[in-house]
Structure 1
């Protein structure tokens, strides 16, 4: 099983993804792909389309899945003692005191 989440993809890119997977939500694709097809598809997303994307796929490890990310997606992959977790980075909010300290 493969889950791919792409941000800001064009309709033609979504159409190409729909040939191999189903789009369960805008930009979220799910399918069963061989390792070769999965890797070729990821190379296309990264090198040809240059999209912000996250791919989660089944594998033989402790978690039974692996996570890949590209670009600057809303979520980042963090390795927590060998366990891959997704996190949303905090947006730094600039306050009046912060701006005074910068000068």
Structure 2
């Protein structure tokens, strides 16, 4: 399972992601792409997000069962 959340990103980026993932709410994308496709999607998101923010969360084999990556998130 993969989740990508976009905030203040170009509309075209949202359109790009809908080719691979379902947009279950504005800016929230959900799907189960392979690891290779997930990496390609995340690279596109980081390249075209501009001043927007993005979050990627996906399942992995660790203690919590998932991991996440961020783009321009202020913690």
TM class, shorter-chain normalised?
0.7 to 0.9
1:44 Cα deviation from its structure 2 partner: 1.0
Give the Cα separation in 2 of the matches to 1:49 and 1:71: 9
Give the Cα separation in 2 of the matches to 1:44 and 1:11: 13
Kindly name which structure, 1 or 2, has the bigger radius of gyration based on alpha carbons: 1
Query: Given the two structures, how large is their TM-score scaled by the length of structure 2?
Result: 0.88
> How many matched pairs?
74
Partner in structure 2 of residue 96 of structure 1: none
1:47 Cα deviation from its structure 2 partner: 2.4
Higher relative contact order (CA 8 A, sep 6+): 2
Query: Structure 1: 5+ residue runs without aligned partners?
Result: 77-103
Q: For residues 1-103 of structure 1, what are the structure 2 equivalents within 5 Å?
A: 1-50=1-50, 51-72=52-73, 76=75
Query: Structure 2: 5+ residue runs without aligned partners?
Result: none
CA root-mean-square deviation: 1.4
Tell me the secondary structure at the aligned position of residue 47 of structure 1: helix
Partner in structure 2 of residue 86 of structure 1: none
Which stretches of structure 1, 4 residues or longer, exceed 6 Å deviation after superposition?
Answer: none
1:11 Cα deviation from its structure 2 partner: 2.2
Give the Cα separation in 1 of the matches to 2:11 and 2:70: 21
